[in-house]
Structure 1
């Protein structure tokens, strides 16, 4: 949710992009359209889409453009890089393993990965809840020069080693701090326990059973984003750089997932509806602590966050990786919501407007 390759201040964009395709009267009558239009016209985000599943009804709302060079509209259900939404998938795998008796949440990480972390008190639960105190490896990457990252890729152990060049943030279990390294470790635990690649476990346990045909975790060297997709942009020096295609293993288990809005709606609906986890494990996932996400009242469980919205509470996860920003989850009355922007990082003023769009999608 917080610092994946995600929403950070980028300054004012020099190029304001295409205006909304919706007529003003329609936007006024549709709060979701109006909120997306603020993002594309006022904030200069190239394009935005919200896909809402309410019962058997699917509602798609779009604004701006999916390709600033051609003016091609934002796809109705295009592929995109889902960033830290990946964490909910990884946590689901670990909780399934916990339900099978193969992982204990309160066992030390060292039981499964001896010698990986210097503090042997850190538990699996603390890794999943960001209470481990393990620093974030992203501070080793210069996001101001993204081209150096496009083909870099990384192996999980390398990313953990980068993080451990820095001191622990706090003793395990004493505070909360979002760290992508936690989920690199979680993915490594899943691979060690099962003997299979994390991508294969996600496919076997989640995407296959749910029929999520457009969702997968890319492997090293798989740089191509499947079509159709909006162009994912990185703002750099007054220009918008196409960063749709790159090696996302630098995000890996913390943020490398490729998906579509419809697939994420289906995933979170199934997860919160009890189709992927037994009641005991789902309850563990929803046991939350206060989380410093820049949103009053935000809390974080095990790979799943909750934020207050005007009609109640929305459970889900924010994601951001170079080129794309999104939020997916389930609101009151089991309404499944995905909101996607084809830009990351975004201007600072975009954050409250994205929250407004999420609220409109969940509650209007």
Structure 2
């Protein structure tokens, strides 16, 4: 890398703006902690790229805040310093709306990630699907404690598995994506979701029934209702349940019940489409071939591998609108929303939501993060009243060891505490 390129790499890219709180015209499996900026340089070199972005920082002053939230800029920039390629963030709180991006949209180019960009949201999809299922419960079309097998007899499901168990991950069903490690030490592989095998098959199209039948061909993790294990199979089954009960496709029902009423024009169920429409940042995969490192742009990938469990595309604006409306009581009756937000089991999981206690002076947040198999990550956090939210997307150069993705959890924790704890976040910052 020449001196000019290295100099550009060290520069920090940033864009942010603040909108007054009253302006309505603008509306885990988690990953771990930080490497060094040198990692970003190595990844860029592996991709045969040179320059990154020049420094740029600006804030739009407002009557409500009049400052540019430097604590948020610092927490976001920490992702880029750790080796992530790019990030876009949206925070809504009593100070108004703050939107920022850092890093680059695409390796080798100077442009920053678009703050209105679309991205795969991964398992954030589960919160949408759980909300849709609960709307059907509210209408009396299904019951939380009804047997799923009664609606989908053709699958040969264990009759003890209920709708509640799907939404809480207590069915015991094998997770088709990636595989399962059983308590007796046995490992049973699933459909390829990592490594070279996934890379070579990332455009393969899966049908939801195919995914579920594959899972049912494997041993259950435990008897239904006796334990809890995060499994994508539960939410793919929820997709099939939605379609059977409504007589419409999952994508149609999502559009009819949630996306259109909330005006979520940037959100979609892509089906077999592999292209992210509109502005977007790029994700990558790095691997070794014949002793040489290669980097592949994996922005185009078929998300049908995670049908109903991680296949949606959205924006930070739409995720904010959705989670704010959900916790604000606009999508579900109060008793069902309370059920959805009740933590259960060792995961602290409700129905499509993790319930997270951030500690003294911070309170509880309802959240779901997500990632499709590689290259992208999404964050969605909300206060109980839906008035304070954090929504974000990150991109990186993934690899067999997960690359910088392994540091996601510690970095996300710092950002979350900046948003929901304010000054308390200083105590939680990792040691330098």
For the criterion TM > 0.5, the same-fold answer is: yes
Distance 1:235 1:118, change over 3 A: same
**Runs of 5+ unmatched residues, structure 1:** 293-298
Q: Does 353-362 or 207-216 show the bigger shift?
A: 353-362
Q: Alignment partner of 2:368: what SS?
A: strand
**1:273 maps onto 2:273 in alignment:** no
- Paired residue for 1:141? 191
- Paired residue for 1:354? 412
- Paired residue for 1:296? none
**Runs of 5+ unmatched residues, structure 2:** 1-27, 46-51, 58-67, 180-189, 423-432
Q: Alignment partner of 2:371: what SS?
A: strand
1:152-180 CA distances to partner (integer Å, 9 max, x unpaired)? 02000110122123211111111111000
Cα offset, 1:104, TM superposition: 0.4
Q: Is the 8 A contact 1:82 1:320 kept in 2?
A: yes
Q: Is the 8 A contact 2:92 2:389 kept in 1?
A: yes
Q: Alignment partner of 1:208: what SS?
A: helix
Pairing partner for 1:113 from 152, 164, 186: 152
- How far apart, CA to CA, are the structure 1 residues paired with 2:175 and 2:301? 21
Q: Is the 8 A contact 2:88 2:100 kept in 1?
A: yes
Q: Does 190-199 or 142-151 show the bigger shift?
A: 142-151
**1:309 maps onto 2:326 in alignment:** no
1:1-364 alignment, distance < 5 Å: 1-2=28-29, 7=31, 14-15=42-43, 18=52, 21=55, 30-41=70-81, 43-54=82-93, 57-138=96-177, 139=179, 140-142=190-192, 143-145=194-196, 146-220=198-272, 222-237=273-288, 238-292=293-347, 299-309=348-358, 311-321=362-372, 322-331=374-383, 334-343=387-396, 345=402, 346-364=404-422
- How far apart, CA to CA, are the structure 2 residues paired with 1:242 and 1:144? 14
TM-score by length of structure 1 reads 0.89
Runs of 4+ in structure 1 off by over 6 angstroms are: none
- How far apart, CA to CA, are the structure 1 residues paired with 2:322 and 2:388? 12
Q: Is the 8 A contact 1:215 1:257 kept in 2?
A: yes
Cα offset, 1:30, TM superposition: 1.9
- How far apart, CA to CA, are the structure 2 residues paired with 1:361 and 1:19? 27
- How far apart, CA to CA, are the structure 2 residues paired with 1:285 and 1:54? 23
Q: How many residue pairs were aligned? A: 349
- Pair member with larger Rg: 2
Cα offset, 1:38, TM superposition: 1.6
Distance 1:261 1:62, change over 3 A: same
